[in-house]
Amino acid sequence: MIIKKTMAEIEAMKEAGRVSAKVLREVGARVQPGVSTLELDRYAEMLIRLEGGVPAFKGYGGFPGSICASINEQIVHGIPSDKVILQEGDIISIDTGAIIDGWVGDNAWTFPVGKISPEKQALLDTTEECMWAALDAARAGNHLGDIGHACQQIAEARGYGVVREYVGHGIGHAMHEDPNVPNYGRPHHGICLEEGMVLAIEPMINMGTFKTKQGDDGWLVLTRDGRPSAHFEKTVAVIDGDPIVLTTEPDHRRPVND
- Do 79 and 71 meet the contact criterion of CB atoms below 8 Å apart? no
- Do 166 and 212 meet the contact criterion of CB atoms below 8 Å apart? yes
Residue ranges in the chain modelled with pLDDT below 50: 252-255, 257-258
Q: Residue 253 and residue 135: Cα distance in Å, rounded?
A: 14
Instruction: Give the pLDDT of residue 97.
Output: 98
- Do 193 and 144 meet the contact criterion of CB atoms below 8 Å apart? yes
- Do 250 and 18 meet the contact criterion of CB atoms below 8 Å apart? yes
Angle 118-136/144-157 helices, nearest 10 degrees? Answer: 160
pTM recorded for the entire structure: 0.95
Q: Over the stretch 66-120, which tens digit does the pLDDT of each residue have?
A: 999 999 999 999 999 999 999 999 999 999 999 999 999 999 999 999 999 999 9
Instruction: Give the pLDDT of residue 250.
Output: 72
In order of start, what are the domains of the chain with their CATH numbers? 7-247 (3.90.230.10)
Instruction: Give the pLDDT of residue 110.
Output: 98
With CA atoms as reference, report the closest residue to 28 among 120, 95, 121: 95
